[in-house]
Structure 1
Amino acid sequence: MVHDEPVKEGSEQDGSSNPEAKFSFFVGPGNNSELVRKTLERRPWWELGKEDDPDLNLKWLQVRQRSVAEWVRRMGNKQYLNHLDGLTCIGRKNELYFNLKAYCEKEKINVHEIAPPTFVISVGEACPEYVEFCRVCKQLENKARGQGASEKSAKVVKSNEKAGKGEGATSSDNHSDNLSAASTDEPSSDSASRTASSSKNASKASLKSPGKSSHSKMSRGDAISNINTAGERNIWIVKPTNNNRGNGIRVFRGFNDVDAHLKKKQAGSQVIVQKYIERPLLYKGRKFDIRCLVLVDNNMSIYVYRRFYLRTSSAMYNPENVQDLFVHLTNYAVQKKKKKGKPERELDEDEMDEEDEAMEEGNNLSMDELTAFLAEEGYRMDANGILARIQEIVVLVFQAVWKKLNPLREKNTFEIFGWDFLLDEEMNVWLIEVNTNPYIGCSSQLLRTIFTGMLEGAVRKCIDPFFPPPRGRSLDEVEEVDGSDMWDKVYPAEPNKDKK
């Protein structure tokens, strides 16, 4: 028997006086289901059951199937499922953006300091988002032409000064001033001062926190101008609203290429068009992103796993080359396809290629490796400072979807999410997307360590308190796993124990 509230091990109320009594579970195939199974089988009172057994105590599936969810809902506290209801509000890129944007406007928070400026475009329809995207692209292209002309004029001035042509220098200066005055998209003085300051002087205190902002309703065009690391090449990344593993993502430069791509899409479909951060922080010349694991338990308490990891690209970063996705996408599902001389070859999900070029094992780096790299490069920021900012963003996003996620507040469901963040060269942390059913394949020893500890900790938080060991057995029998104690509760906030 399972309970709505945690119970003590071997207590009279658990009804498990039989030491041979066992709970049963089923783990659906895929995404390293073997690791999930081994985590549960560390507990001698759990055993593998059959998928169609109506008396299963736990179903661990890759997706929340409607029929299964309805059955679990009828079963109440007798059966648990590893997926919350209402996941689209955060797992689909279009809904995530709209929910976050609406919440930030309500709370007077600048959404463009959390996620890159984004457009959700409905293909082949009268779409205000498309009209606004056209306007912003034209604005950026005009700005780029103006800056190009200004740079050309500046070169003429410098050349004339060297040649002693005073009149030419004066004329060129006037022309440059006119171009500058004509620009409607000139960065603000705040933006200019940020550009002048070295990003390597960043500290934990300098990370932008999602507080109240006077720019909460800033247009996306102005936001792009204020984001130094958005760059000047007018590069955009286009994504499907609901795919994962890098499927369907393309990178384009300029409006015409994006528009041509959109015209090939099925009418009525929605796509995400997001400003590409052209100046990301690079690791040894290559792009990377951060994958952070987040847990929501059956009481809607939110935990962030203390060990995030980096996913690195196999190709040197080159913003001029928008066709090569190995440069721009750091998903393991994408990077594992980059094989020496055989780019078309695909590996099995957790297979590692011993013949590939020497990069990081599995294209992964740890927090410690990131901290060491930042120190070596002269940055004052470390991985723990980045994690603190990530935790702030996680709480804010959940507040934005609080009423939509698990709206019935079911007490027999929980969820593990994979959150992706980008770090730019000014040490800003950008939310990219939120993934349900995140990858837990052991493509490197680092990931094996992280995922083994993460899963053990998740089971201790979400399963053990409600499926206690039978009388005569104890959780002390369960093998200790490194990292199982690294789920940090971030919401609701833990009370300050120092306060009296």
Structure 2
Amino acid sequence: MDSLGLVTTGVKINIEKNSNTDRTRLPKVNKKESFLKLKPSSQKPHHSKRQTPLTNPEFILFKEPPNTIILPTNLFEDHLFTTNYIKITNSRITTTSRNLRNSVQLSPKQDPSPDFLHDFTIEGIQSPTHRKVLKKPEILNLPKPELLNINKPRIPLVKKLNKSTPHNESSVKEIMYWNWIGIIKASNGFEIYPHHGQFKYYVGKGNNGSLVNHILKSRFWWTRTDNVEDANFVWTQLKNKQVLDLIPKFESRLEKDLNPVVFDSKIPKAILNENQENFGFKLISESYSYLNLTKGYFLVPETLKSHNRLPNNSCICNKKGMFKNLKAYYDTVGLNIFSKVPLTFHIETGTSDLQFQTFTQQFTEGSTWIIKPGEATNRGKGIKVSSSLDQIKEIINKHQENRTYIIQKYIQNPLLINKRKFDIRCYALITSFANQLQGYFFKDGYLRTSCKEFNIKNTNDKFIHLTNDAIQKNHEDYGKFESGNKLSYYDFQKFLHSNGSNVDFFIDIFPQIVDIVKESIACAKDIINEECKMNAFEVLGYDFMVDSEYKVWLIEINTNPCLELSCSYLSKIIPDMLENSFRIALDPMFPPPEGHKKFKMWVKNSNLTNKYMLVYSSLSAN
């Protein structure tokens, strides 16, 4: 008889193998003992080609999902987790591949706008609702698992398609979805333990929480809960410290993969390459900031929690934090902050503050300044415009506990649209996975216009100076000139052309915005998640102004940006932005169970188009 040494929870049991029946009799194992560690003393490895993590003398199987969140990746074969994402090789394209190139038409609807504007126009595809999905998972190939008398671990793999047969739109979209998930996972160095369950989300009240709920509800593998503690994902307007405390720390150092594996594409490279382009995947995978990382950790999704707020978002999301940290960053790289941000002074102790004394030296008769609360405020609250030094002194001498002030030079020569002031609202997504910070910039944004003509001498009329929707919607002319006082980038470009300007928004203005967003994320690299929480993310709203010389100025960065759909244009881009954000920040960590019967239909009906550009990675910046 052969024998196997079976180690359960601290107890070694000898198992006798009957040579006649070739069966192993196992003693009963208590249900709570969910981990089995097998030492096959006499078995030959199942794979004879090479030694792998699964054919080493020790390996681990799970009867049920582990209770731990992080597992070492060396317990599993690399190829079992790489079929869901694809790297393009330079192998030649066969005749069959060329014929198949036209068999699937997945290109987005062509826009009649000029080529140089095409990438930035809005297609207006509505967010998916109640999507459906199915895929039978393949079995992980283990050495004679029948000897263990337990269920085989199942890995959800993309079904291998025969390249000699035509691929329909649905099958290609399935592959492209898993390709997307793999691109994000590879850039964050993690893998996911296979799962078959449902995840729970909690959505707090306010700021169009119904829209957030609608988008999450469309993911069939998520269900809503009213209990924050039960939720795998919590969305709230403000940081929830209780949730952040439940997210574990991860202090191990991620490493770049200098020899990334090339994976089988499942479909002809021509079709893959074309659809990666059409779906916008290359905005991330071909970014200068994109890195393949070695798999540093292995996540059990049922045990994970995530939050839509980063632990120390105030480092750039309140006015004093943004100024302080941006100045430190620009000083380090040898740039003048006041080439990006209007001249600013942070006043902490009223008129006795040394910074206020410096400000008075810069103040001249007739100059205009804007005074803002230094701490977290939004929707235009507490903001004053003044040209009077006495009035500015009066404002900052109003002592409030834990309250400081920002005095900032007012942009006196703003670019105007039909004599009215405007600013630009953009969105960025910051994700933090295992100490790596990545920043994404959403390509679509909008202009917010004022209701009244610009007049620098009238400093008391907030409808002239503050373009926040919370302010402008209270004016009787709100929506009179533009729907919801909003304009798209493309509408702005048409305005520039109609006024005889040679300025191209997408060449002359847009890149300035992207550079400042990237630099603002870089300045927060070591601060925004200094607690080393393993996984969290945040959508931020950026406000920019453009002066009459077409120079871009950063005004502020907002946590909890407004998600209200105040016009038809916002009804298109805000749901798209949220859908894209969840596809980056949630789906790779909480992927759909591919074996679910609703999977195929969900993928078929989903809009997979990505509009986020990867603009920053803390590892690639090193």
In the superposition, the TM-score normalised over structure 2's length comes to 0.58
Question: CA contact under 8 A between 1:280 and 1:287: conserved in structure 2?
Answer: yes
In the TM superposition, residue 304 of structure 1 has moved relative to its aligned partner by 0.4
The yes-or-no answer on 1:260 pairing with 2:394 is yes
Please say which of residues 41-50 and 260-269 is displaced more in the overlay.
Answer: 260-269
Which of the numbers 361, 369, 391 marks the counterpart of 2:491?
Answer: 369
The yes-or-no answer on 1:330 pairing with 2:467 is yes
| Residue aligning to 1:427 | 550
Give the Cα–Cα distance (whole angstroms) in 2 for the partners of residues 90 and 357 of structure 1: 31
Mapping of residues 443-458 of structure 1, within 5 Å: 443-458=566-581
The yes-or-no answer on 1:378 pairing with 2:484 is no
| Residue aligning to 1:64 | 239
The yes-or-no answer on 1:321 pairing with 2:458 is yes
The yes-or-no answer on 1:286 pairing with 2:420 is yes
| Residue aligning to 1:487 | 612
Question: CA contact under 8 A between 2:351 and 2:397: conserved in structure 1?
Answer: no
The yes-or-no answer on 1:114 pairing with 2:305 is no
In the TM superposition, residue 79 of structure 1 has moved relative to its aligned partner by 0.9
Give the Cα–Cα distance (whole angstroms) in 2 for the partners of residues 337 and 328 of structure 1: 14
Question: CA contact under 8 A between 1:17 and 1:471: conserved in structure 2?
Answer: no
- Deviations along 1:283-333, one digit per CA (max 9) or x if unpaired, are 111000000100012332111000010011011111111000000000000
Give the Cα–Cα distance (whole angstroms) in 1 for the partners of residues 380 and 603 of structure 2: 37
Give the Cα–Cα distance (whole angstroms) in 2 for the partners of residues 57 and 267 of structure 1: 37
Q: Give the 3-state SS of the residue equivalent to 2:230 in structure 1.
A: coil
Question: CA contact under 8 A between 1:291 and 1:420: conserved in structure 2?
Answer: yes
CA pair 268-298 structure 1, distance change in 2 beyond 3 A? closer
Give the Cα–Cα distance (whole angstroms) in 2 for the partners of residues 486 and 480 of structure 1: 18
Structure 2, unpaired ranges of 5+: 1-64, 74-80, 85-134, 139-153, 156-191, 250-299
In the superposition, the TM-score normalised over structure 1's length comes to 0.72
Give the Cα–Cα distance (whole angstroms) in 2 for the partners of residues 314 and 128 of structure 1: 38
The yes-or-no answer on 1:25 pairing with 2:201 is yes
CA pair 48-280 structure 1, distance change in 2 beyond 3 A? same
Mapping of residues 19-418 of structure 1, within 5 Å: 21-52=197-228, 54-73=229-248, 78-124=304-350, 126-137=352-363, 140-141=364-365, 233-241=366-374, 242-266=376-400, 269-299=403-433, 300-339=437-476, 358-385=480-507, 386-418=509-541
Q: Which residue identity does 1:121 align to in structure 2? A: I
In the TM superposition, residue 456 of structure 1 has moved relative to its aligned partner by 0.8
Question: CA contact under 8 A between 1:124 and 1:268: conserved in structure 2?
Answer: no
- Deviations along 1:249-280, one digit per CA (max 9) or x if unpaired, are 01001322211222334376311110000110
Question: CA contact under 8 A between 2:421 and 2:453: conserved in structure 1?
Answer: yes
Q: Which residue identity does 1:293 align to in structure 2? A: Y
CA pair 481-336 structure 1, distance change in 2 beyond 3 A? farther
Higher helix proportion: 1
In the TM superposition, residue 408 of structure 1 has moved relative to its aligned partner by 3.3
Give the Cα–Cα distance (whole angstroms) in 1 for the partners of residues 482 and 516 of structure 2: 28
Q: Give the 3-state SS of the residue equivalent to 1:453 in structure 2.
A: helix
Give the Cα–Cα distance (whole angstroms) in 2 for the partners of residues 44 and 108 of structure 1: 50
Question: CA contact under 8 A between 1:453 and 1:483: conserved in structure 2?
Answer: no
In the TM superposition, residue 359 of structure 1 has moved relative to its aligned partner by 1.9
Give the Cα–Cα distance (whole angstroms) in 2 for the partners of residues 364 and 91 of structure 1: 23
CA pair 409-421 structure 1, distance change in 2 beyond 3 A? same
Question: CA contact under 8 A between 2:248 and 2:534: conserved in structure 1?
Answer: no
CA pair 271-478 structure 1, distance change in 2 beyond 3 A? farther
Q: Which residue identity does 1:387 align to in structure 2? A: F
Q: Give the 3-state SS of the residue equivalent to 1:59 in structure 2.
A: strand
- Deviations along 1:216-268, one digit per CA (max 9) or x if unpaired, are xxxxxxxxxxxxxxxxx300000112210000101001322211222334376
CA pair 337-124 structure 1, distance change in 2 beyond 3 A? same
In the TM superposition, residue 126 of structure 1 has moved relative to its aligned partner by 3.4
In the TM superposition, residue 90 of structure 1 has moved relative to its aligned partner by 0.4
| Residue aligning to 1:222 | none
Q: Give the 3-state SS of the residue equivalent to 1:302 in structure 2.
A: strand
Which of the numbers 582, 587, 590 marks the counterpart of 1:464?
Answer: 587
Question: CA contact under 8 A between 2:565 and 2:571: conserved in structure 1?
Answer: yes
Q: Give the 3-state SS of the residue equivalent to 2:512 in structure 1.
A: helix
Q: Which residue identity does 2:568 align to in structure 1? A: Q
Give the Cα–Cα distance (whole angstroms) in 2 for the partners of residues 88 and 493 of structure 1: 19
In the TM superposition, residue 471 of structure 1 has moved relative to its aligned partner by 3.9
Q: Which has the larger radius of gyration?
A: 2
| Residue aligning to 1:159 | none
CA pair 357-94 structure 1, distance change in 2 beyond 3 A? closer
Give the Cα–Cα distance (whole angstroms) in 2 for the partners of residues 392 and 27 of structure 1: 33
Q: Give the 3-state SS of the residue equivalent to 1:414 in structure 2.
A: strand
Question: CA contact under 8 A between 1:288 and 1:313: conserved in structure 2?
Answer: yes
CA RMSD of aligned residues (A): 2.6
Give the Cα–Cα distance (whole angstroms) in 2 for the partners of residues 424 and 256 of structure 1: 28
CA pair 425-80 structure 1, distance change in 2 beyond 3 A? same
In the TM superposition, residue 34 of structure 1 has moved relative to its aligned partner by 1.0
Which of the numbers 559, 565, 587 marks the counterpart of 1:442?
Answer: 565
Structure 1, unpaired ranges of 5+: 142-232, 341-355, 496-500
Aligned residues: 384
